[in-house]
Amino acid sequence: MGIGKGIKQLRKEAGFSLRSLAELVGMPHDTIHKIENDKLKQGPRLKTIIQIGTKGGFDMHRLAHYAFNLHQPEETGERQEDLKAILDALSKLSPTQRARIIGRIEGWLERDAEGGGAQDKTQDTQAGYG
């Protein structure tokens, strides 16, 4: 199950209508509709997923599971623990720190999609990230 269907499932389990979740999260209901039905060209941004999950009171571990398509039981062991550790660490940061980290991750993903992964490794090593 992808992120859109996962958000829809969590929303319904929580008893939210599309409009009530949109109002709670602070975004147009048609945006939530597009996310749930995978109608966005590039999918929702990570900060949007976090905003929906946090303000909707959703289980962030399940949401991360949907976001990363960890639908095969054998894939969930170590990755699920990694995701839990990442989400726990993010929850301890200030909004500014979270935004910086999310921006960095999104930058990595965009560059990887464009074939720039090797350059990022060099820059990360120089910056002391590994």
User: How do residues 12-63 score in pLDDT, each as one tens digit?
Assistant: 999 999 999 999 999 999 999 999 998 988 888 888 998 999 999 998 888 8
- Whether 30 is covered by a domain: the verdict is yes
Angle, helices 18-25/3-14, rounded to nearest 10 degrees: 100
- Whether 21 is covered by a domain: the verdict is yes
- Whether 41 is covered by a domain: the verdict is yes
Domain harbouring 7, CATH code:
1.10.260.40
In this structure, how many other beta carbons lie within 10 angstroms of the beta carbon of residue 84? 13
pLDDT score, position 109: 79
- Whether 19 is covered by a domain: the verdict is yes
- Whether 81 is covered by a domain: the verdict is no
Q: What is the pLDDT of residues 71-125, one digit of tens each?
A: 544 445 666 777 778 888 888 888 899 888 888 888 887 887 776 554 445 555 5
- Whether 16 is covered by a domain: the verdict is yes
- Whether 118 is covered by a domain: the verdict is no
